Structure 1
Amino acid sequence: MKVTGQVLIFDADDTLWENNILFERVIDDFLHWLEHPTLDKTEIRAILNDIEAANAVVHGYGSKIFLRSLGECLQRLRERPATPEELRHIDELAIALIESRVELVPGVAETLASLGDRHHLLLLTKGDLEEQRRKLDASGLAHHFRDIHIVREKDADVYRWLTAEHELTPATTWMIGNSPKSDILPARQAGMNAVFIPNDHTWVLEQSELDPHDERVLRLREFPELLNHF
């Protein structure tokens, strides 16, 4: 489907709604529950980060993979398989994730409504297809977007595919998100412009260095500031 005019592509998790903070709360509860006899919370968190990074490459993203990572972390630390009771407790810790609760970032709904009157809006998010659709449905934001794409990973090839799919002009296309790794850098590699809106709770595995001299990356503090530029 060809899209003409200026196009704004939006990330979802931690751009439109809070996401990683829910995972961080579960991790805090998990670390407190473990009470490892020799490792402190920082050391255990480093082990969990490594497990999550490996699972993301093989299995992708989402709450199911996250729970898998917690279970594997428990097994590694206790050097035995997790018991059914322990796995059940992990599930209970993560009930907010399993239910796909959604808390919109302040000003998102109003800002999208205004931008949609003047520009073409697309959504590009990664993760588990079913889980992301549930969150999108719960958010009530789907009607703002001309098209929605849920992908396994967001790299430069995906952005090039999106450009071809919609016959986009990269010079008038902007990717808007909180993740340097998945939103800003690959979009720039594909020739698009980008808007970086940092989230204090962005996942550590989504962090990466941005070129401070890149004039085609607009840096904002809050989502509603988009209305000052588009």
Structure 2
Amino acid sequence: MMAKRSLSTIGFDADDTLWQNEQFFRLTEERFASFLADYAEKEHLTQRLLEAERRNLQLYGFGIKGFTLSMIETAIEVTEGRAPAHVIRKILDAGREMLSHPVETLPSVRETLERLAGSYRMIMITKGDLFDQERKLAQSGLGEFFDAVEIVSSKEASTYERVFARHGDGPAHAMMVGNSLKSDIVPAIEAGSWGIYIPHDLTWTLEHAEEPVEAPRFRRLGRISELVDLVEELK
């Protein structure tokens, strides 16, 4: 019986690992603050919106639709129920614009995937709204490189255990590549896989966590193009 390779499967996060995402949330947040400038200071609005997002994660999940609903909820709260209809309309329009914004892949992503595809089982593991994530994958033109796509509601150790068992040889023979320590790296390492952290300039506050620098299977890279050499080293 042929022995399993030490590394046979590579999982990739999507948002802010393969393509830009957080910058569009930040820009829309700026617009949201301008819509309600007559009612509250920007810092106050930003804090109230974050609180609403945190409350609503268990109800709406991750993604633009939940973000839009949280903006509407915040607008109603800060105006004490007097938010003008035209402000609500602007918020809805801003959400729709985010849902139709062109996908911008990050530097060296395509070239890196091309070099790894065929030699490893490639899985995109992302959380968020199903329709929006499917749209972004289709528009990115990166779908051809993946053997499987998993759009999940949350990323926990059990998520990686299940996904890497279903599409690979289990977590011990897999790595997860992503920009979120909380969602991509820490739980993947807890599941027994490698966690390859590639920071993005912008990371949502609720995705922050401490780097597990003492974990033997943790690595930090400056850019995704460095992944090819690392994979060669670890395989």
1:170-181 correspondence runs (5 A): 170-181=171-182
Q: Does the alignment pair 1:44 with 2:36?
A: no
Runs of 4+ off more than 4 Å: 2-5
Q: Measure, in 2, the Cα distance between the counterparts of 1:73 and 1:17.
A: 28
TM-superposed CA distance for 1:227, in Å, is 1.8
TM-score (norm 1): 0.92
Instruction: Please name the residue that 1:125 is paired with.
Output: 126
Q: Measure, in 2, the Cα distance between the counterparts of 1:174 and 1:205.
A: 23
Q: Does the alignment pair 1:20 with 2:22?
A: yes
1:147-203 CA-partner distances (Å, limit 9, x unpaired): 111111111111121133235232321000000111011111111111000111111
1:1-230 correspondence runs (5 A): 6-37=8-39, 39-80=40-81, 82-230=83-231
TM-superposed CA distance for 1:43, in Å, is 2.5
TM-superposed CA distance for 1:100, in Å, is 4.1
TM-superposed CA distance for 1:10, in Å, is 0.3
1:192-217 CA-partner distances (Å, limit 9, x unpaired): 11100011111111111122222311
Q: Measure, in 2, the Cα distance between the counterparts of 1:227 and 1:166.
A: 21
TM-score (norm 2): 0.90
Cα separation, partners in 2 of 1:167 and 1:10, compared to 1, 3 Å: closer
Q: Does the CA contact (< 8 Å) of 1:8 and 1:120 recur in 2? A: yes
Q: Measure, in 2, the Cα distance between the counterparts of 1:157 and 1:125.
A: 15
Q: Does the CA contact (< 8 Å) of 1:101 and 1:138 recur in 2? A: yes
Q: Secondary structure at the match of 2:176?
A: strand
TM-superposed CA distance for 1:84, in Å, is 3.1
Q: Secondary structure at the match of 1:28?
A: helix
Q: Secondary structure at the match of 1:17?
A: coil
Q: Does the CA contact (< 8 Å) of 1:194 and 1:218 recur in 2? A: yes
Q: Does the CA contact (< 8 Å) of 1:3 and 1:167 recur in 2? A: no
Letter in 2 for 1:200: D
Q: After the TM superposition, which of the residue ranges 200-209 and 4-13 deviates more from structure 2?
A: 4-13
Unaligned stretches of 5+ in structure 2? none
Q: Does the CA contact (< 8 Å) of 1:124 and 1:151 recur in 2? A: yes
Unaligned stretches of 5+ in structure 1? none
Cα separation, partners in 2 of 1:4 and 1:134, compared to 1, 3 Å: farther
Q: Measure, in 2, the Cα distance between the counterparts of 1:196 and 1:181.
A: 11
TM-superposed CA distance for 1:126, in Å, is 0.5
* Superposed CA RMSD: 1.9
Letter in 2 for 1:24: R
Identity %: 36
Q: Measure, in 2, the Cα distance between the counterparts of 1:182 and 1:176.
A: 11
Q: Does the CA contact (< 8 Å) of 1:121 and 1:146 recur in 2? A: yes
TM-superposed CA distance for 1:81, in Å, is 5.2
Q: Measure, in 2, the Cα distance between the counterparts of 1:30 and 1:40.
A: 11
Q: Measure, in 2, the Cα distance between the counterparts of 1:111 and 1:27.
A: 32
TM-superposed CA distance for 1:27, in Å, is 0.3
TM-superposed CA distance for 1:131, in Å, is 1.0
Q: After the TM superposition, which of the residue ranges 91-100 and 152-161 deviates more from structure 2?
A: 91-100
TM-superposed CA distance for 1:68, in Å, is 0.4
TM-superposed CA distance for 1:89, in Å, is 0.8
